Amino acid sequence: MTAAPVLHLERPAFWTETGDPESWFRALEAFAGAAQRAPQKGTPRTVADRSLVGVIARRGAVGLFGVCQREGRVLLPGVGLIACDEEGRWDLTDVSLTLLRHWKENAQQGLELLAAYLVHESPWLRLLLARLQQGDWELARWAEVRSGRTGLKTGSTLLLRDYVEPETWFDGFAEKAAARWLARARCEVLAYDPDVLMRKKGKDNLSLTPLTAPLHLLESVGWLSRTGQVTLPSAFAADLVGKATPAQALTDITSEHADVRGFVAAEPVLRELLLTFGVSPSDEAFARWMDALIDLAVKTGALELLDAQPGQARHGRGLHADPTRKLVRWVVHTEFNEAFQNAWAALETERELIR
Concatenated DSSP letters of 34-56:
HHHHS-EES-HHHHHHHHSTTTS
Pair 211, 14: CB distance under 8 Å: yes
193-203 in b/e form (b: 16+ CB < 10 A) is beebeeeeeee
DSSP single-letter state for residue 15? -
> CA torsion, points 147, 153, 157, 163, in degrees to nearest 10?
150
Q: What is the dihedral of CA 134, 135, 136, 139, to 10 degrees?
A: 120
The DSSP secondary-structure symbol of 126 reads: H
Torsion region of 278: left, alpha or beta (phi above 0 gives left; psi -120 to 50 gives alpha)? left
Crossing angle for the helix pair 22-37 and 107-121, to the nearest 10 degrees: 90
Q: Which residues are CB-neighbours of 44 under 8 A, at least 6 positions away?
A: 61, 62, 64, 65, 68, 77, 78, 82, 90
Q: The whole model's pTM is what? A: 0.78
Burial of 292 (0-12, 13-18, 19+ CB in 10 A): middle
From first to last of its 355 residues, the chain has per-residue pLDDT tens of: 567 789 999 999 999 999 999 999 999 999 999 998 988 999 999 999 999 999 999 889 999 999 999 888 999 999 999 999 888 899 998 889 989 999 999 999 999 999 999 998 999 999 999 999 999 999 998 988 888 777 899 989 999 999 999 999 999 888 889 888 887 887 889 999 988 877 666 566 788 999 999 999 999 999 999 889 999 988 788 888 777 788 988 998 898 888 888 899 999 999 988 887 767 788 888 999 999 999 999 999 999 999 999 998 889 999 999 999 999 999 999 899 889 988 988 875 443 333 3
Strand 6-9 and strand 189-192: the pairing is parallel
Length of the chain: 355
